[in-house]
Amino acid sequence: MKFMGMILFILFSALSAQVTSANHTLSEGLSLSSEKPEDVLTSPNGVFSAGFYSVGDNAYCFAIWFASRPSRIQDHTVVWMANQDQPVNGRKSKLSLLRTGNIILTDAGEFTVWETNTISFSSLELHLYDTGNLVLRTLGGENLWESFDFPTDTLLPQQLLTRSTKLVSSRSQTNYSSGFYKLLFDNDNVLNLLYDGAELSSLYWPPPWLMPVLAGRFVYNSSRIAVLDSFGNFSSSDKFTFSSADYGKLLHRRLTLDYDGNLRLYSWDEEGEMWVVSWQALQAPCNIHGVCGANGICSYVPGIGRNCSCLPGYKMINHTDWSKGCEPELNLSFGKSKFHFLQLSHIDFYGYDYNISYNYTLDQCKQLCLELADCKAFQYSFSTTKGNSDCYPKILLMNGNRVPSFEGSFYLRVPEKNLLSNANLAEEIGLNCSSEGLLLLERVYLKSRVNKTVKFMLWFVCGLGGLEIVGIFLVWCRLMRTSKNSTADKQGYLPAITGFRKFTYSELKKATKGFTEEIGRGAGGIVYKGVLADNRVAAIKQLHEVNEGADLFQAEVSIIGRLNHINLIEMWGYCAEGKHRLLVSEYIEHGSLADNLSSNSLDWKKMFEIALGTAKGLSYLHEECLEWVLHCDVKPENLFLDSNYQPKVADFGLSKLRSRVETDNSSFSRMRGTRGYMAPEWVFKLPITSKVDVYSYGIVVLEMVTGKDATKGVQVINSGGEPQHKRLVLWVREKKNRVASTKSWLEETIDPRLKGKYDIGKMETLIVVALQCAEEEKDARPSMRQVVETLLAQENDLQ
């Protein structure tokens, strides 16, 4: 790493030597003219330039941009603008440093459109630093004004975001004027993303339905400072921090609030000559507010992006601008005509509830909405934790989001006479995820490889948990990358796969000393321990031999490499040569949960942390991470513990690679899990959803706290005096139901090796949650996110 830094440093020095002829400073009494393209300030290292930047037809803004490769990139990446909301004429406009100390930007030689309002009696100069900071300083070195104090949409390394500064997105990809999204510290000291539209505004990050504390934010530090360093570490005074995917490398970086409302960290890839995304705030782009305007619904199509549509009976207001939303096609004056409701599934409209009525029947909810003059629709959802349904009448329909995993229903109020049908919508959403489809499509997929039609992709999202789609997405990215003028190229919306690389077979053979040290064996292949050339200890999994193309494998595996979460095993690379298919990941010294359970090395605190961490990892797989990646084989053998007993989920996404192999052997079995942990859906050939992982998770937790083996079950003596095996989950459930007092059912259930050393309240919650997770009926199980929230609430109770 240090060595790389040195090389970069030398490169920079060489580069700066070349450009010393350019001007770094503007002296007092001089100006830069919009008419002369050579009137540009350049930082000593040649990375940044400041000057007039064309933003439209004869329209210019005074800006700072990345200029490290001036000759090859036409569209520079702008990092700061003085007058983005008031561009100036290309003729006779100039930026002048007056002798009074003020910097003014004049339009067409007449109006001042921007100024710094600085006054000084000593001599001044305007200097562009290597960091990208444009500074007005006295010759004595005192700073009077700096562009870092007035950011636009980008924060550069070392630039502080403070209580008085904020990032504001641009309006669109081509329109640099101020847009609707802001990054700022709110009054509660929390760093937030805000949608600040023409009429409405709302916070959307951290997730608004979570208290800041539950989102990991600290609300009691009023200093309100955040900063990014050159190595890719961002930290904020509310304790929000992240490290980029390529953390540790000295690269050009920028944190930009993009016009689409997402906050992204980009790093400059010298080789590819483009920006790559090395972190982003929101993985599900439809969770950004204001995307499709009022009455619009946002859908996320992996590989294509988000797509807006209107509610049935509504039409787009401005055909070039989705933020304006949709309006009713007919005059729907509520109150006069008779109404009924149109049910739409998997649609969530966040916020703007009139009030929330708990434990309402559907009829009560309909009645309530009809009684309210401005009730446009209502959301009706079943709460698994409470066992009843809640009613949310909506006065405005904002932030519409189509979420396949969302189980509540949305009821749109429509006039009775209106002959609306939900046929169109049903077709789009109600994709059949039946098991037969799954099997069939898998074969089709094998033959046709990359089929790009959207519907096809949606099938896969449903059936297979999205891996394929993302695979296609990557292939698509690669296609895009090769076509020179693509927008993806310029925008650099390509995932960073830094750190994740391809190994040669001989490299891995050497690392494992000829595949000698076997450390595990599973359905997918054999795992060996190895030491890579850079001395990292790795777990190297040799998958069974396959016939499918290396490209496809590569595409799929690259996805696995992109998944990045503290509770997931870190993937380092893969190998695809001839028939060899190998995966390289970090090696975890402490072994798997299964090892730890059998050696009895876990105390209660560790158990709780393991339960929580595993839930977080799975929740990331299911919800945050490009949506709906299923694991399909959650079991103690696949959960590893690091030196702090933080769990790390392994083998995610591999179920897919494995089933392909089994198809080739023509003994394909649809069952992917491991007996004892498998949800009933597999057995009964019901649709497979993320709830299969929830089930397995429940069993793992029960196994951990009871100390009993789920694959063997529990031996009990039945009424006839005969010994009998009972499934673990049934055994716990019966204990809970049979024994009246809380204390004694826990005592009878929990592993005696814990010797009663646990928090009774937390333990009870944990087991109750685990039992809910292991419900036979998938709809009765909570989502992984709900599990995380419940456990986090418990954890915070303690403090």
Ligand X SMILES: *[C@@H]1O[C@H](CO)[C@@H](O)[C@H](O)[C@H]1NC(C)=O
The least distance separating ligand X from the CB of residue 364, rounded to whole angstroms, comes to 9
- 8-state DSSP, 321: -
Q: For residues 218 and 796, what is the distance between their CA atoms, to the nearest angstrom?
A: 13
Q: What is the DSSP string of 605-627?
A: HHHHHHHHHHHHHHHIIIIISSS
Residues 305, 319 contacting (CB under 8 angstroms): no
Q: Which of 238, 269, 633, 693 is catalytic?
A: 633
Please, what's the b/e burial string for 680-702 (b: 16 or more CB within 10 A of its CB; e: otherwise)? ebbeeebbbbbbbbbbbbbbbbb
Toward ligand X, which CB reaches closer, 271 or 363? 363
Active site residue 779: no
Binding-site residues from annotation: 541
Q: H/E element holding 12?
A: helix 2-18
Q: H/E element holding 115?
A: strand 111-115
Toward ligand X, which CB reaches closer, 309 or 690? 309
Toward ligand X, which CB reaches closer, 120 or 235? 235
Of 591, 639, 588, give the one whose Cα is nearest residue 612: 639
Residues 651, 398 contacting (CB under 8 angstroms): no
Handedness of CA 467, 468, 470, 474 (dihedral sign): positive
The least distance separating ligand X from the CB of residue 321, rounded to whole angstroms, comes to 4
Instruction: Give helix 604-619 / helix 691-706 axis angle, nearest 10°.
Output: 170
The least distance separating ligand X from the CB of residue 326, rounded to whole angstroms, comes to 10
C-alpha radius of gyration, the chain, whole number: 29
Q: How many CA atoms lie within 13 A of 396 on its CB side?
A: 12
Of 79, 470, 69, 496, give the one whose Cα is nearest residue 276: 496
Helices then strands, counting H and E runs in the chain, come out as 18, 45
The least distance separating ligand X from the CB of residue 490, rounded to whole angstroms, comes to 18
Toward ligand X, which CB reaches closer, 304 or 526? 304
The least distance separating ligand X from the CB of residue 232, rounded to whole angstroms, comes to 8
Binding-site residues from annotation for ATP: 541
The least distance separating ligand X from the CB of residue 223, rounded to whole angstroms, comes to 4
Toward ligand X, which CB reaches closer, 30 or 739? 30
Question: Terminal CA-to-CA distance of the chain, rounded, Å?
Answer: 39
Q: For residues 257 and 234, what is the distance between their CA atoms, to the nearest angstrom?
A: 14
Toward ligand X, which CB reaches closer, 56 or 216? 56
Q: Where are the beta strands (DSSP E) in 245-313?
A: 253-257, 263-269, 274-280, 296-301, 305-310
The least distance separating ligand X from the CB of residue 341, rounded to whole angstroms, comes to 17
Toward ligand X, which CB reaches closer, 201 or 223? 223
Q: Encoding tokens for residue 67? A: 């200029």
Q: For residues 77 and 63, what is the distance between their CA atoms, to the nearest angstrom?
A: 10
Q: Which residues of this chain interact with ligand X, rule CB under 6 A?
A: 21-23, 30, 38, 56, 171, 175, 177, 221, 223, 225, 233, 235, 237, 241, 243, 247, 301, 304, 307, 309, 318, 320-321, 331, 333, 355, 357, 359, 368, 386, 388, 430, 432, 434, 454
How many other C-beta atoms are found inside a 10 Å radius of the C-beta of residue 256? Answer: 24
Toward ligand X, which CB reaches closer, 519 or 780? 780
The least distance separating ligand X from the CB of residue 740, rounded to whole angstroms, comes to 21
Active-site residue set: 633
